Structure 1
């Protein structure tokens, strides 16, 4: 994942750009926040105020990177703006999350295991050890600490990078708490008890795999045209495109939203090229995710099927 955000300066106001590319960058940011060099000329109280501001901003950015909700709403909430969008919705319908440009991965079992492990460790160790324990690592540190005897040991099969992402997201949402200092530890957050409730679910987002054409594949193939948003050119495609545009307008008017919030022209063109026949096919269309499928999939699939049948 990667996102950009302002980094707090010495007065607590944004002063520079922060780029998060991978989990290691979050740890690096925490290390620098807790370092002494940047605050050498400040009084201890002033330095702690600046560090606290940077910690809050870092946690907010980690949450922004991982959230599966509306990104625009997340930013507005950060600045204290709770005003609904023009259509009364809490979703903008136009950010990458609302457009479904990611896959939602269920990591409930992993999340519960991480919270359980943090509880067993008493908040005394960092996320790398937590990840090693739940993944059943036989590292020297795990064996010397007899951590293989914990109930949470070897209960997760996910990669270590994904487990660390889960831990970060759990921390950003209050299930876990990452301590301050140069060597942060993972403890329980105020919502940790929720992880053991029967209805607890937890998911992270993963960007959809690229559908770029493989090397040597003809650039004029349907998949290639759809990938790069090249407009359909056949008479049949143009006719279908106009029908889908009319359907989009009808749905947009019914929902009191702009047509592009239903689907972009690029998505409609891709439908014309792919001619999806079921839900799985429809999810392959550019800009279609689970939310769009749930809201509009049936209507568009029906329209395409009728067009194909010549009705």
Structure 2
């Protein structure tokens, strides 16, 4: 079979997505490869298609058991012989799986990085024909990444120990340029083919709210999405417990997930969410990596994450099927303080020296400042994220809160000059809080302690609230007119563009939200079904749910919502037309075609 035939037969797709074919060709030619693709862009196809064309076994190194189980379940549904080897198997199950692997039962085997160090697995790998090693979530190898996992550092030694070195494919969704360099260097990739398809997810809507009551805002968001699946992320276990109890008390279908629960409850709650027995998962960041639930329609962050890498990875779990989905962050100043505490009092890393630990803490604090900047910016939110990852982006996306809301351009030249004078006159020694309190003429302990009430700038912006002054400071930071120093206690400094804002400079305008007009209706990224097609779609979802329950698999493993939408629109009448629907491969057409065709025919009749 050709790669195109593999794609159609097993996955049901007629064409590769951007970047996939280049990665597949590189790996098939024996060349190492590194792909940076956003969540939902089809990274797994890049190594699964070569796995089916190469003669031996493909090993996929994956960080979480839930990821392995989901991937293997989906592959088996498509008719691909696959297995996983991890701690969820009993010893007898593990030995049986290893025996079957030796006998050539599987084309793809998922393993945890720790498994590569065991004597039994090494002995198997020495005797087997390993044609490809795929490293998923490759950013875990970098200590500068958000999910550093020391066991990933052992992957190159394992590959070097094989009788013949196979090509290595490395895949990640979120990696800054520095982390990408680490992946190349630490995995010892040899002249790898590089593919970066871009980080943008056009179907996602981004919004930051700063509500008076997070609980009230959250309840309104969940209630306004009846029947939709969503994830609510919290920064602490206590917050997960409180938020889940609150939603349940308000009659919402919700469950919880965090590392403090016993393994059985975590498994049950995760399955309840995956199998659509509950609609809302309230969780810490312990939940989600590798969860391939395609119909998550919204991700709400109840607390601000510590960095944009984590935020974008977690937010990206919405809308994996390409349908319109929302990513909403509920922000408060306390979130910054909580995140700073977690960074400064995290679990000690015994494998690192004090100097390296200090560098990591400083890097984490820098990331926190960029994350806080996202929460306060008036710029396009999508542009802010994409530029953080080194990607150029338009100034307006017309699909985030900041772009869609009615803003007016306000001249803030006078306030900007007052802020710059205050920063300069106080020696560039103070942070945002002290400068804000000084300009507003506040009577606080810090103002008195540093004698800021004796400064020329004291009270010059007393007609503005501290929130309004902070917004203007954030704007000046976004524009490069101000900058924040490094270190654990960053101070405001004059930025590269500060000289442009002289006393005789031109007007400086800032986008301000207009309160007198409602926001326009959000631009539709993908048309929602209506009329008979919408009704048929619900019938097909009900049939899918029945099949999934009988087979003991999540509903999206049978077919995604995107595939069901196309069925509802095209209403195929025979197996040939059914298999032409995107996402219907030969195995699934044979397994489910008659049932879905009968449902469509009954609806039409």
For normalisation by structure 2, the TM-score amounts to 0.29
2:358 counterpart (48, 67, 78): 48
Q: Which has the higher strand share?
A: 2
Q: Distance in 2 between the 1:188 and 1:30 partners?
A: 24
3-state SS of the aligned residue for 1:190? Answer: coil
Q: Does 1:195 align with 2:501?
A: yes
Q: Does 1:77 align with 2:390?
A: no
Q: Distance in 2 between the 1:27 and 1:155 partners?
A: 28
Contact 1:60/1:172 (8 A) holds in 2? no
Equivalent in the alignment of 1:254 = none
Gaps of 5+ in 2: 1-138, 148-284, 286-303, 306-328, 529-605
- After superposition, residues 286-305 of structure 1 pair within 5 angstroms as none
Equivalent in the alignment of 2:404 = 99
Contact 2:429/2:491 (8 A) holds in 1? yes
Q: Distance in 2 between the 1:45 and 1:151 partners?
A: 40
3-state SS of the aligned residue for 1:177? Answer: strand
Q: Does 1:12 align with 2:144?
A: yes
Q: Distance in 1 between the 2:336 and 2:475 partners?
A: 12
Q: Distance in 2 between the 1:13 and 1:158 partners?
A: 40
- Superposed CA offset, 1:149-205 (max 9, x none): 433222102111222333344334433333344443333333332332512515254
Contact 1:68/1:104 (8 A) holds in 2? no
Contact 1:68/1:205 (8 A) holds in 2? yes
Q: Note the C-alpha offset of 1:119.
A: 0.9
- RMSD of the alignment, in Å? 4.0
Using a 3 Å threshold, how does the CA distance of structure 1 residues 142 and 168 change in structure 2: closer, same or farther? Answer: same
Equivalent in the alignment of 1:148 = 453
Contact 1:105/1:205 (8 A) holds in 2? yes
Equivalent in the alignment of 2:318 = none
Equivalent in the alignment of 1:119 = 424
Using a 3 Å threshold, how does the CA distance of structure 1 residues 147 and 100 change in structure 2: closer, same or farther? Answer: same
Equivalent in the alignment of 1:214 = none
Q: Distance in 1 between the 2:432 and 2:379 partners?
A: 25
Equivalent in the alignment of 1:279 = none
3-state SS of the aligned residue for 2:430? Answer: coil
Q: Distance in 2 between the 1:22 and 1:206 partners?
A: 18
Equivalent in the alignment of 2:413 = 108
Contact 2:383/2:393 (8 A) holds in 1? no
Q: Distance in 2 between the 1:82 and 1:48 partners?
A: 31
Q: Distance in 2 between the 1:111 and 1:38 partners?
A: 41
Q: Note the C-alpha offset of 1:108.
A: 3.4
- Superposed CA offset, 1:182-237 (max 9, x none): 443333333332332512515254474796xxxxxxxxxxxxxxx998xxxxxxxx
Equivalent in the alignment of 2:436 = 131
- After superposition, residues 1-311 of structure 1 pair within 5 angstroms as 11-15=143-147, 16=285, 18=305, 21-33=331-343, 35-41=344-350, 42-82=352-392, 90-102=395-407, 106-139=411-444, 142=447, 145-156=450-461, 157-196=463-502, 198-203=505-510, 205-206=512-513, 208=515, 260=523
Q: Distance in 2 between the 1:70 and 1:76 partners?
A: 10
Gaps of 5+ in 1: 1-7, 85-89, 212-226, 230-259, 266-311
Using a 3 Å threshold, how does the CA distance of structure 1 residues 20 and 187 change in structure 2: closer, same or farther? Answer: farther
3-state SS of the aligned residue for 1:196? Answer: coil
Contact 1:127/1:185 (8 A) holds in 2? yes
Q: Distance in 2 between the 1:95 and 1:30 partners?
A: 27
For normalisation by structure 1, the TM-score amounts to 0.52
For the pair shown, the structure with the greater C-alpha radius of gyration is: 2
Using a 3 Å threshold, how does the CA distance of structure 1 residues 108 and 20 change in structure 2: closer, same or farther? Answer: farther
Q: Distance in 2 between the 1:24 and 1:11 partners?
A: 27
Q: Note the C-alpha offset of 1:43.
A: 1.6
